[in-house]
């Protein structure tokens, strides 16, 4: 058969070598497209923004969002994990587990930064901290109606780290958040320094005791009970009273916009940390208490976290 084909090519003065070269080029192009398609399929990241976990502590299902980096579904490797907490605002937005995905444009940033080698691939999860229409809270609330901190550590973290391929050592775990989520990240890191290698508070809602603020939040709780409860979340006094051998157990990064009312509180916390000898990074930049600012500083705090993971 091959002899007949060769004779046909000779009789019709067709150059066999020329045809073979063209065929080879076609094969190379086809294989290239097939390889590119396979790589693109492998490199697609995933976002799931309305997943649920059943909580016996909260007595209801709790929503959460997760970002899975490029290649997660095609590999068996385990990834570092970032717990990224959402804010309680700003006004006009829907502050829930989807906030970092939509307002923060998290997937767009992560995909590009990972592809460019700027940050290491990681899994990111955000739980919904809404207590119905009452409030958003990362506390174990003073009235005992919404114990979100217990849910986070006793149910959410164990569930996440069993469900997803993440590394569970301290050096592969970080926590960060904006506004109320920034305050939550700071409280959680100080309550459980054995769990996190890095904490980032972004325009963090941190305060010393304020009668009106706490009594408006929990009108049915007595002032004496509120003051006793608040000691758990008074990060200023936690740092002031911290023994030297308990300081600097995790890396700490804070940032706030210069037009943000919380910049005064964040600067005060920075001052307390300096006086206590607690190592940290603090940045005041142009901006307000909004998603425009948090999007702008995302590369800064994500690089800080990634560098910690890489060390």
Is the model's pLDDT at 164 over the cut of 60? yes
What's the pLDDT score for residue 27? 46
Mean pLDDT over 238-244 rounds to 96
Query: What is the biggest distance separating any 2 CA atoms in the chain, rounded to whole angstroms?
Result: 106
Report pLDDT for 13: 52
Residue 7 reports pLDDT greater than 60: no
Q: What angle do CA 67, 109, 42 make, to 5 degrees?
A: 55
Peptide linkage before 39 cis (omega within 30 of 0): no
Out of 3.20.10.10, 3.40.50.1820, 2.30.130.30, 2.60.40.1180, select the CATH number for domain 45-310: 3.40.50.1820
> Whole-prediction pTM value?
0.87
Q: Residue 32 corresponds to which tokens in the numbers above?
A: 């290239």
Using one digit for the tens of pLDDT, what is the confidence trace for 248-290? Answer: 999 999 999 999 999 999 999 999 999 999 999 999 999 999 9
In tens, the pLDDT along 26-59 reads 544 434 444 444 444 556 999 999 999 999 999 9
Burial of 284 (0-12, 13-18, 19+ CB in 10 A): middle
Is the predicted pLDDT of residue 9 greater than 50, yes or no?
Answer: no
Query: Looking at residue 212, what is its pLDDT?
Result: 77
pLDDT in tens, 75-132: 999 999 999 999 999 999 999 999 999 999 999 999 999 999 999 999 999 999 998 7
How many other CB atoms sit within 10 Å of the CB of residue 166?
Answer: 18
Work out the average pLDDT over 241-247: 95
Mean pLDDT confidence for 166-175: 98
- Tell me how many degrees the CA angle 187-272-194 measures, rounded to the nearest 5: 35
pLDDT of res. 300: 98
β 130-131/81-85 pair status: unpaired
Per domain, the residue ranges of the chain are 2-38, 45-310
């Amino acid at each position: 058969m091959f002899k007949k084909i060769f004779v046909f090519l000779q009789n019709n003065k067709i150059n066999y070598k020329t045809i073979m070269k063209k065929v080879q080029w076609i094969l190379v192009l086809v294989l290239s497209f097939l390889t590119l398609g396979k790589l693109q399929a492998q490199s697609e990241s995933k976002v799931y923004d309305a997943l649920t976990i059943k909580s016996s502590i909260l007595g209801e299902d709790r929503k959460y969002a997760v970002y899975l980096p490029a290649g997660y579904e095609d590999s068996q490797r385990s990834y570092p994990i970032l717990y990224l907490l959402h804010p309680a605002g700003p006004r006009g937005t829907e502050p829930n587990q989807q906030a970092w995905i939509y307002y923060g444009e998290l997937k767009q940033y992560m995909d590009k930064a990972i592809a460019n080698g700027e940050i290491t691939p990681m899994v990111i999860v955000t739980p919904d901290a809404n207590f119905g229409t009452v409030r958003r809270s990362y506390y174990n609330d003073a009235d005992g109606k919404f114990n979100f901190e217990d849910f986070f550590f006793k149910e959410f973290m164990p569930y996440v780290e069993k469900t997803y391929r993440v590394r569970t050592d301290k050096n592969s775990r970080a926590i960060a958040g904006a506004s109320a989520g920034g305050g939550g990240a700071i409280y959680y890191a100080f309550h459980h320094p054995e769990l996190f290698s890095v904490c980032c508070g972004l325009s963090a809602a941190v305060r010393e005791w304020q009668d009106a603020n706490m009594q408006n939040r929990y009108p049915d709780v007595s002032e004496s009970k509120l003051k006793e409860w608040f000691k758990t979340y008074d990060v200023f006094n936690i740092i002031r009273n911290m023994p030297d051998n308990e300081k600097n157990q995790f890396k700490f990064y804070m940032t706030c916009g210069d037009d943000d009312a919380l910049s005064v509180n964040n600067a005060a916390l920075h001052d307390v940390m300096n006086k206590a000898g607690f190592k940290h990074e603090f940045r005041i930049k142009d901006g307000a208490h909004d998603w425009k600012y948090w999007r702008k500083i995302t590369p800064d705090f994500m690089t800080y976290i990634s560098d910690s993971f890489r060390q």
